[in-house]
């Protein structure tokens, strides 16, 4: 089965416009994410899925520069953007990753793909805490088969569900399945060495970008392939202490 990782990104983010191109240790945020996911072992293709708007031309150029595929589709209908991209690239298994997760962990993406291949769930996720699995927010991914995505696409859903694909399956805030009798939800337990559901490692606001900029400034020069355990050590031993002094 062909496994395709699809990264969603656009320049018109409402909370932090242009965040995909914000600098992290000398390269755009979206480029740092691409660098990391290219180290995952279970992928046949990586696709940057953006919109047809002119302002997103820069994201197409980033995809070209970093040697991955690109797709352009609907701005706000993420269900359709993923569905059309999955059809173009003949994906059997889709791995979904938001473009604002610049410390995605390749090994944990591989872990959730391996779990999903067992066929025990329709929607598998370790992108953040699911059923108290203990994961930090922003290091894993979501995985589902093309047939399941097609089912969601055909059913329609409300505008919020069309814009936020995961809300067709799982409510991360209530920790409950949205349609428990239609889609099986699965996850894996986070390893104890980085079981930190208190950590939020995506970028949606200026404050979160500043946090991520500091993280990359410290860790990337020391090891471009830094691990989540390195992030935790930096957070606990350096970032927290610096924050308390302010």
CATH number where 46 lies: 3.90.550.10
Residues of the chain with pLDDT under 50: none
C-alpha closest to that of 11 among 27, 30, 24, 25: 30
pLDDT of residue 194: 98
Backbone φ and ψ for 109, nearest 5 degrees, come out as -65, -45
| CA distance linking residue 42 with residue 224, whole number of Å | 21
What is the model's pTM?
0.96
Residue 50 bridge partners (DSSP)? 72
Residue 24 bridge partners (DSSP)? 27
- Domain of 139? 3-245
Question: What is the chain's alpha carbon radius of gyration, rounded to the nearest angstrom?
Answer: 17
pLDDT of residue 72: 98
pLDDT of residue 246: 63
| CA distance linking residue 159 with residue 164, whole number of Å | 9
C-alpha closest to that of 68 among 119, 21, 24, 31: 31
Q: Is 146 exposed, middle or buried (0-12, 13-18, 19+ CB in 10 A)?
A: buried
pLDDT of residue 157: 86
Number of domains within the chain: 1
List pLDDT tens digits, range 101-130. 999 999 999 999 999 999 999 999 999 999
C-alpha closest to that of 100 among 44, 146, 165, 34: 34
């Amino acid at each position: 089965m062909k496994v395709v990782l699809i990264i969603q990104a656009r320049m018109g983010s409402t909370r932090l416009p242009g965040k995909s191109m914000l600098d992290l240790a000398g390269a755009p945020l979206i480029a740092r994410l691409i660098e990391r996911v290219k180290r995952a072992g279970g992928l046949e293709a990586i696709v940057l899925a953006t919109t047809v708007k002119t302002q997103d031309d820069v994201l197409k150029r980033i995809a070209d520069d970093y040697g991955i595929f690109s797709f352009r589709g609907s701005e706000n209908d993420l269900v359709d953007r993923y569905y059309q991209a999955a059809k173009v690239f003949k994906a059997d298994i889709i791995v979904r990753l938001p473009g604002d997760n610049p410390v995605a962990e390749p090994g944990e993406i591989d872990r959730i793909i391996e779990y999903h291949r067992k066929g025990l769930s329709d929607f598998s996720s370790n992108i953040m805490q699911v059923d108290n699995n203990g994961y930090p927010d922003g290091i894993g991914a979501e995985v589902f088969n093309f047939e399941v995505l097609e089912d969601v696409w055909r059913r329609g859903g409300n505008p919020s569900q069309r814009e936020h694909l995961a809300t067709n399956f799982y409510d991360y805030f209530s920790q409950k399945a949205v349609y428990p009798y239609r889609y099986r939800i699965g996850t894996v337990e986070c390893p104890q060495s980085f079981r930190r559901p208190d950590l939020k490692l995506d970028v949606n606001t200026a404050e979160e970008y500043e946090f991520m900029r500091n993280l990359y400034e410290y860790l990337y020069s020391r090891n471009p392939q830094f691990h989540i355990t390195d992030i935790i050590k930096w957070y606990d031993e350096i970032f927290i202490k610096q924050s308390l002094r302010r």
